Each structure stands twice: as C-alpha cells, then as structure tokens.
Structure 1
Amino acid sequence: MTKIALGTSREATQPECIKALVVEFICTFLFVFAGVGSAMAADKAGATTLVGLLFVGTTHAFVVAVMIAAGFNISGGHLNPAVTLGLAMGGHITLIRSLLYWIIQCFASALACLSLNYVTGGLTTPIHCLPKGVDPLQGLVMEVILTFSLLFTIYTTIVDPKKGPLQTQGIFLTGLVVGANIFAGGLFSGASMNPARSFGPALISWNWADHWIYWVGPLIGGGLGGLICDNFFMFKSHVPLSRDEDF
C-alpha cells in the first residue's frame, strides 16, 4: 500500500520546518566532520589498513548515535539522504521536506569537508571509491545490502511503535550497525550507506571516481528498506501522513 505523502510548498516557510533544517544541517555537519576527520587522522598517523578500518568504523558508530540523539526530537536526526528516502517511502516524512533535507545534508557535508581541508592544512580528503578487484556491480550490491540493513535497524528499533524496550536503545543500536557495516564492507565498497557522506569529500577533492555507486546503491537500499519494513512489519500500527500533509 502506498503511504508516500507529497506535502506542499508551504512547508519550506514554516518555523517548525526551518528549525528542523537548521538542526539537520548542524548534526550532518558534525557527523561528516568527525567521520571524514577520522579517516584523515588515520591516514596522517600512517595506520595499517586494519587499524584504520577499526578506527574509522568505531568513530562512525559513536558519532552517528550521538548526532541522531541530538537531532531526533527536532529533525529526526536523519544525517543521510538514504534514511530520509526510506522514511519517506513509509509516509513518515513528506517528499517536499525530504528534498529539503537532501539539499541541507549535502550542503552540510560539503562545508564539513571544506572545513577539514582548511584546519588540516590542505590534507587530502579521502573519497569513497572501489578498490582494486571490486567491480561496479559488486560495489553497488554491497551498498544496497549495507544500507538496507541500516534502514531495517532504524525501522525495527526506532520507528516501529511496537519496539517496546528497544525504544531507548534504538539510536545506540543504529550507531552500532553503522560501525559493524563499515567493518564488514569498508574494504570492498567503502561502506558509505550515505550519499551525503560521499558527496562532500568528492566535491572538495573534485574526484568523482565511482561516485554514482554511492548514490544509486544507498538510495535503492534505503528505499527498499522503507517499503519492506513499513508495509510488512508496521502496516497495522502506523498511520501515514496524508498525501498533501504539511507535516
């Protein structure tokens, strides 16, 4: 059953929406600053591949959980266009607001990477790209699966009103699945799961190698996660926004 709500253009001028966009910008900026900064720090320290992976994965797990918690009651703490799309597919956010979130998330990512470039004295901003031995289809499938697991976790531990005792743990668990996915997929696709997280480094480095994978893969995974979780697990408990809801 389709639950997608279009929304109206009036949303962009509503104080509640403006506040949500500001918070989404701040949380996404701080998430990308810490996430990309951890990768730059690992490179600067000359960390081995395994140590660097553990360092970056752990940093992402912590910062994702904290920034979702920080923005949850105002913007939802999406930090990620794929998460926004997944929630839109279940009617939890309108398409109009989703588009605004996408813009602000990508802008925050770009500004965070520009800031890192400045404060590190021009160190290279590492991008997400496929390593040797991984072809585009393999990387794409990896990103779809990893992002699907992220949305599955969000829906079943945060969004689902039947989550019960997981209610206060869902945000922390979402951070953990991001870290676990980086450990599992970091050496194969980069484990982005987030188009905005990949966009900022690519823009500042002006290196778009394999960049399409980090939009197509996460958006497919996020969209599928939203559709499947909402329609098969939550259809009796969730009342979606109306089609023209102002939100």
Structure 2
Amino acid sequence: MAVYRIAIGSPREATHPAAIRGACAEFFSMLIFVFAGQGSGMAYSKLTNNGPATPDGLIVASLSHAFGLFVAVSIGANISGGHVNPAVTFGAFIGGSITLLRSILYWIAQLLGSVVACYLLSFATGGMETSAFSLSSGVSVWNALIFEIVMTFGLVYTVYATAIDPKRGDVGVVAPIAIGCVVGANILVGGAFDGASMNPAVSFGPALVSSSWTHHWVYWAGPFIGSATAAIVYDNIFICDNVHEPLVNSDF
C-alpha cells in the first residue's frame, strides 16, 4: 500500500460545499437502502405472522438488499462516490481515494441515515420492531467475525475493481449492479448464520432503535478488517503505483 496516498485532509474540508453535499448524498442513499432492506424483512414478518425464518425469507432479504443497494449506490455515485457503507468509506480511505476528514463526515451521515430509516419504519408500521442483527444458534462470535470479514472483503474488492481502479474502463458502468449483486449473494451465504451485515451502519440503526447491542462489535470489527484487507490487497497487486483517480472529486 502506498502510504503517501493516505490523507487527513484540511480542516476547512468539513464545511466545504462539496463535502457537505457528499455527506447529504450518503445520508439519503443510506436512508433509502435501510428502509428497503429492513422494511422488506418487517413486511415478510407481518405476512407470516412473525413465523420462523425460512429459505423464502432469506431469498427475500437477498433480493431486497441487492436491489436497494443498486439504487442507493447509483444515486450517490456522482456526488459522494456512492459508498453507502462505513466499511467501503474506510477501504477508500486506506487506498487514498478519500481523506480522513471527509470519511468522518460520511460515517456520521451514514449512521444517521440508518437510524432515521429505522425510526421511520417503526412509525410507519405502527410500532413494529426493527430487528437488530444477531447470531444464530450454534454460531460463535468468532464464526460470525470470519463471516463478516470474508463477506466484506468480497464487497470492497468488488468496489475497487468496478469503481475505484483507474483502469476499470467501461466496467465502471456496471459498478452499482455488481456491488448490489455481491451483497445479495453474500446474504444467501451468511444470512442464516449472522444476518450478513457487511455494513456497520446497517447494523447500527436497528441496534439503536431496538436497544439491542449483543455482539454488536462483530458487525464493526469484521467489516472494517475485511475492508482494509481488500483495499490493501487490490491496491498492492492491481493498482500498485499507477496514478489514482479520486473516488470523490475534491478541492483540497
């Protein structure tokens, strides 16, 4: 990894219009994504009278998150880079595509977007609970940690290959659908074990609204470790010292 590309950023970046617009884009993209993803799960629970988890429910979760993320990334791509995930933002920071100060703005916006989406869902559904992520029976925290690391590695590796790599060419056009698809596929793999978050903000909103924090650290540590690993691997093997195209245009 080229350490010289990692940047803290200027203090005035926090109030620059471009940074504020980027943070706002991340807020709305996250709100749309979480509302669709969490909302589909709540709708499924209502239709089944809170019945037990089934393969059908897993497929519904996979599709709703894949479609929702495809849209959320697409609408934010030209403004913020369409991260819609603190782990993706962290991976972009590790690769030098975004400054630390702008990353912090994005993290705040992403967490707020998730929380607002969960409160809106609770209100709109007449008080139904937004379910916090949890481990299934027989799944240890270390099992879940490995799941989150590997799944987030796949997600951020896909982001690098389709959206960050300056050699991506025309493949960048399909970046949002590729990113949505890998998340949907990973939910089919890990959903039955730990819920397959891959996104600390997606885990944070439901946990805050439902006041359920059991094993919550797994949904932060796993995605951040997986993201950093993917960023370092892709940057060193495939990008190396080639000139980077910034993920987010910046004047700083």
The alignment's TM-score, normalised by the length of structure 2, stands at 0.93
Corresponding residue number in structure 1 for 2:41: 39
Give how far 1:246 is off: 5.4
Instruction: State how far apart, in whole Å, the 2-side matches of 1:166 and 1:154 are.
Output: 11
Give how far 1:240 is off: 7.3
Task: Give a deviation string over 1:210-235, Cα, whole Å, max 9, x none.
Answer: 11100010011111111211122112
Over aligned residues, Cα RMSD in angstroms? 1.4
8 Å CA contact 2:166–2:244 kept in 1: the answer is no
Compare 200-209 and 2-11 and name the one that shifted more.
Answer: 2-11
Corresponding residue number in structure 1 for 2:124: 119
Corresponding residue number in structure 1 for 2:57: 52
How many residues are paired up?
244
8 Å CA contact 1:160–1:234 kept in 2: the answer is yes
* Alignment-mate amino acid for residue 43 of structure 1: S
Q: Report sequence identity in percent.
A: 47
Corresponding residue number in structure 2 for 1:17: 19
Matched, 1:78 2:83: yes
* Alignment-mate amino acid for residue 117 of structure 1: S
Residue 153 (structure 2) aligned to one of 130, 148, 164: 148
Matched, 1:214 2:216: no
Give how far 1:4 is off: 1.1
Instruction: State how far apart, in whole Å, the 2-side matches of 1:239 and 1:25 are.
Output: 26
Task: Give a deviation string over 1:166-200, Cα, whole Å, max 9, x none.
Answer: 12112111110000000011011211000000000
SS at match of 2:192: coil
* Alignment-mate amino acid for residue 4 of structure 1: I
Residues 158/151 of structure 1: CA separation in 2 closer, same or farther (3 Å cut): same
Equivalent residue runs for 1:1-247 within 5 Å? 1-2=2-3, 3-46=5-48, 48-239=53-244, 247=252
Instruction: State how far apart, in whole Å, the 2-side matches of 1:92 and 1:179 are.
Output: 25
The alignment's TM-score, normalised by the length of structure 1, stands at 0.95
8 Å CA contact 1:34–1:59 kept in 2: the answer is yes
Runs of at least 4 residues of structure 1 off by over 3 A? 238-241
Instruction: State how far apart, in whole Å, the 2-side matches of 1:135 and 1:181 are.
Output: 19
SS at match of 1:223: helix
Q: Which runs of 5+ in 1 are unaligned?
A: none
Q: Which runs of 5+ in 2 are unaligned?
A: none
